[in-house]
Amino acid sequence: MSEAPRSSMRPRTVPVGDVSLAAAEYPGEGPPVVLLHGIGSRGVSWWPVIDGLTPFFHLYVLDLRGHGDSSTPAAGYDGADYVGDLEQALDGLGLERPRIIGHSLGALVTLAWASLHPARAAALVLEDPPLRTVPRTLELFDEWIALAAMPPAAVAAIYQKRYPAWSAEERARRAASITGTAPAVFQEARARAERTLRQQGEHLVSLSRRLPPTLLVSGDVTAGGLLAPADADLFAATVPRAEVVQFPGAGHSLHRELPDEFLAAVVPFLQAAG
């Protein structure tokens, strides 16, 4: 999808401590839903599913710190920083028990936040979160760091070869997102992943035992997905109120690649939860 959503949008700015987060509010029918994007992205990455969500929910789409139109401090991109931002943003927006959809980094932030505040959200959707740090993670960070340092036009040309099905507008939008991300976002995350690997890794399923109703949606690791099937199975076995939906042949960004299928899984779950 290359066009902006047809749903009306109201820009918001949410102060969170020393920084401020940009938010796009899409007034819709039903309870509030907060959407958190992945690393090197921004809120517009959710455009393919906005119009499919607003008939059922009132949406708040955040740009994480260091991304999009939010503040870009020189440092301060630890998981705890993102989690603190989410907590303060919910307070600032006056949201008591929202449903939260997080993709990739946004899913990890959602998972970590909900493990600290298990009663604060009505339900969660975690889209292809990398629950385990593996050597390939460092390669991905190196690639993203290199792309973020390029001119946007050069990145768009790379995306044209890599994603020929994307429209020119989508490639330009994605290139603007990654090149506009604060360099420290990637640098601090890579250093953290390197430390984790030296310590024989970590598995974030351990955070999830007290979660509210949670839907885990995952892609296919052979097509670029970052959640291993064994980790999805472990999540389902560990989290008492979890549901897992896997999309064979799909990559990491399910809401972009398969928006109709993504909505078909997510909307009924969020309607029933809470």
Note the helical H segments in the chain: 47-53, 79-93, 105-116, 135-148, 152-162, 168-179, 183-198, 229-238, 254-257, 259-272
Q: Grade residue 263 by pLDDT with cuts at 50, 70 and 90.
A: very high
Residue 2 has pLDDT above 60, yes or no: no
Handedness of CA 104, 80, 188, 202 (dihedral sign): negative
- What would you report as the CA-atom Rg of the chain, rounded to the nearest whole angstrom? 17
In a domain, 122, yes or no: yes
Q: Grade residue 224 by pLDDT with cuts at 50, 70 and 90.
A: very high
CA 233 distance to own-chain centroid = 21
Domain of 57, CATH number, reads 3.40.50.1820
In a domain, 39, yes or no: yes
Report DSSP state, residue 242: E
**Overall pTM > 0.75:** yes
**Tokens standing for 270?**
């969020």
Q: How far is the C-alpha of 57 from the C-alpha of 267, rounded, in Å?
A: 9
In a domain, 142, yes or no: no
Average pLDDT over residues 42-53: 97
In a domain, 47, yes or no: yes
pLDDT of residue 133: 87
Domain containing 255 equals: 10-131+202-272
Q: Which residues of 217-231 are buried (b: 16+ CB within 10 A; e: fewer)?
A: bbbbbeeebbbeeeb
In a domain, 184, yes or no: no
Per residue in 86-105, pLDDT tens?
Answer: 999 999 999 999 999 999 99
Q: How far is the C-alpha of 219 from the C-alpha of 217, rounded, in Å?
A: 7
pLDDT of residue 83: 97
Per residue in 119-175, pLDDT tens?
Answer: 999 999 999 999 888 888 999 999 999 999 999 999 999 999 998 988 899 999 999
Per residue in 189-218, pLDDT tens?
Answer: 999 999 988 876 566 666 667 899 999 999
In a domain, 71, yes or no: yes
- Greater pLDDT, 107 or 240: 107
In a domain, 168, yes or no: no
Give the burial class of 260: count Cβ atoms within 10 A of its Cβ; 0-12 exposed, 13-18 middle, 19 or more buried: exposed
Q: How far is the C-alpha of 100 from the C-alpha of 174, rounded, in Å?
A: 23
Map residue 22 onto helix, strand or coil. Answer: strand
Q: How far is the C-alpha of 221 from the C-alpha of 128, rounded, in Å?
A: 10
Looking at the structure of the chain, the number of domains it has is 1
Residue 1 has pLDDT above 70, yes or no: no
In a domain, 158, yes or no: no
